[in-house]
Amino acid sequence: PQGKLVRCIYGKIFDVAVDIRQKSNTFKQWIGVTLSSENHSQLWIPKGFAHGFLTISESAEVVYKVTDLWNKKAERSLKWNDKDLGIDWPLSEEIQPIVSDKDSNAHELTQLKSCDLFL
């Protein structure tokens, strides 16, 4: 697990963090903010949170500062449109997601084993 400080240095994204710590009072709650090269905002994503974003401009560049090195064995993928989470993605006819194979094959939160989540 790693904490991340995320910012968008070119373009605009809708950035989302979801609390996946099962024993947390905010388990399954999410926050979404717009990060852009114009607003210079950043989002801190603590350990124990899932993270994803939607590019809402023609293109975007996103940079991270992280608390630890990436560990493929620790990586988990959470379905971006998990109905149980109810993330309000800013989708429209003009903005529709192009989803990677990895994200297309991700699991809903209820499908992940408890050992895969932060306890």
How far apart CA 16 and CA 49 sit, in angstroms, is 10
The H or E element spanning position 43 is: strand 42-45
What's the farthest any 2 CA atoms get from each other in the chain? 40
Distances in whole angstroms, Cα of residue 28 to Cα of each of 17, 84, 109: 10, 8, 8
The pLDDT tens digits for 27-41 are: 999 999 999 999 999
Give the pLDDT confidence score for residue 90 in this predicted structure. Answer: 95
The pLDDT tens digits for 7-16 are: 999 999 999 9
Read off the amino acid at residue 29.
Q
Span 88-113, average pLDDT: 88
Q: Could you tell me the pLDDT band of residue 1, with boundaries at 50, 70 and 90?
A: confident
> Quick one: 32 exposed, middle or buried, by C-beta within 10 A (0-12, 13-18, 19+)?
middle
Give the pLDDT confidence score for residue 111 in this predicted structure. Answer: 86
pLDDT of 116 > 60? The answer is: no
The pLDDT tens digits for 50-83 are: 999 999 999 999 999 999 998 888 788 899 999 9
